[in-house]
Structure 1
Amino acid sequence: MKWLLSLMLLILPGIARAEITPSIAERCVQSYAMRYRVPPELIAALIDVESRWNPHAVSNKGAMGLMQLMPATARRFGAFEPFDIEQNIAAGTRYVTTLMWEFHGDLRLVAAAYYAGDRWVGQQQLNYRNPDVLAYVQAVRRQYLIRKYAAARPPRR
């Protein structure tokens, strides 16, 4: 019985943290998307695909946090603590904003550049054929449309 209490004490803080984190992250997405005039559904879709809302995610290439920022990109856009939820989302949203300007709002190119790098996509434009890039763009598009549709639906009564 004593071990059960110990187990509960270990599990409950993790559960509470898991419930708090998405709401903080979602508020940050809304706030920074509005500030930088980027669709919040796009930022959320990128997070869906990049980290599945895990603020401690690290890729095998070294990308970090919710928006999976590479260290140089994180520093460039002001995330000096890339695992900090607010810094990560703020920097990632600023990066997406620069991509939106660079690719004139074409969300396919923005998503491709977010994944593969803006120089490579800038040279290739819509002629990219890398299956990983195509799958990534499709996954972001799917999540974006799901979120866009959900936001447009009237609330249930």
Structure 2
Amino acid sequence: MRTALRRTALSLSALTLTTAGTLSIVSPAHAAANFTIPGVCGSSYYEVHSETRSGYNKTSDGWGTVIYIKFGYSPSTGKNCAFVQKSTTNYSYGEASGLSIALRRKSDSAYAYNGGSFKYYAGPVYLSAPHTCISADGWDDWAGSWSTGWYACG
């Protein structure tokens, strides 16, 4: 009986260590650094464009990438998707701060917007834009205002 109890206790200890190890691998900060178009917009979306914006950040020289802007498209929904993500060197990464994105349609200036105080990213925003271009613009506390120009024209 004692042997059975000891084995059970050892098994539970191993399970606890395994679970704790798994949780540390998939921590929110680690997961946030790997946002993708299919992960944020939906599995039917693929990336059509991405770019970065610089600003004052945590690197040794104080200047570098602070946000990533990502565009996606889904043939099954016919919609474009976009979001803006803080880089891990952004001073406010993991802390709520001002961040916004607006996805615009060139043909009639219609737009979808998401803004507020976010820890990791703003969006996703969705917009149908058949046979016209899309652009994104927004704000980040460390990059200031930004605009991408027109993409996905077709």
Structure 1 length as normaliser, TM-score?
0.30
Q: Larger % of helix: which?
A: 1
Q: Larger % of strand: which?
A: 2
Structure 2 length as normaliser, TM-score?
0.30
